Amino acid sequence: MGKNLIPIIAKELGVEIGEKFEIDRIEGKFRFNQFRLQTEYQTGNSFEWVDASDVIYQVLLMGSCEIIKLPFEPHMNEYYWTYNGDDFGTVESYWLGHCIDYCKKACGCIFRTEADAIKARPQKYEELTGKEWGCEDG
């Protein structure tokens, strides 16, 4: 029996299983599940996920189109990464739909991974404090 490569392909393309994304020059939203690439399909007033065509696989695997990551939208009871209130250290938090969750989201301080939070920290620090990250007084 062969090995399922979908999780590896998704990771190499920079997306997680279940994460919605777009593909440049191709209309629609896409996601990988554990076994296949799917596209969002509208039926009446609702959406469902259907298998994407083999052409989409080809353009992704050959590198002729790029994935466009969508902003992270945590769901109820889902973990996300943000900054603590003391020194802009990264902390994992739990989305409960409270006011503080929405405040962090409005400030752009909700991240899917700790690595994403760390990467954005200098820019977010300067944007929110007016000081440069890593300076003596900031």
Q: Is-contact 59 23, C-beta < 8 A?
A: yes
Q: Could you give the 3-state DSSP secondary structure of residue 11?
A: helix
How high is the pLDDT of residue 86?
Answer: 77
* Burial annotation 67-91 (CB, 10 A radius, 16+ → b, else e): beeeeeebeeeeebbbbeeeebebe
Residue range 36-93, pLDDT digits in tens: 999 988 777 878 899 999 889 888 988 889 999 988 889 899 999 999 977 899 999 9
Mean pLDDT of 7-26: 91
How does the average pLDDT of the chain come out, rounded?
89
**Per-residue confidence band for 105, with pLDDT thresholds at 50, 70 and 90:** very high
Q: How many CB atoms lie within 10 A of CB 60?
A: 22
Residues 6+ apart with CB under 8 A from 102: none
**Per-residue confidence band for 137, with pLDDT thresholds at 50, 70 and 90:** low
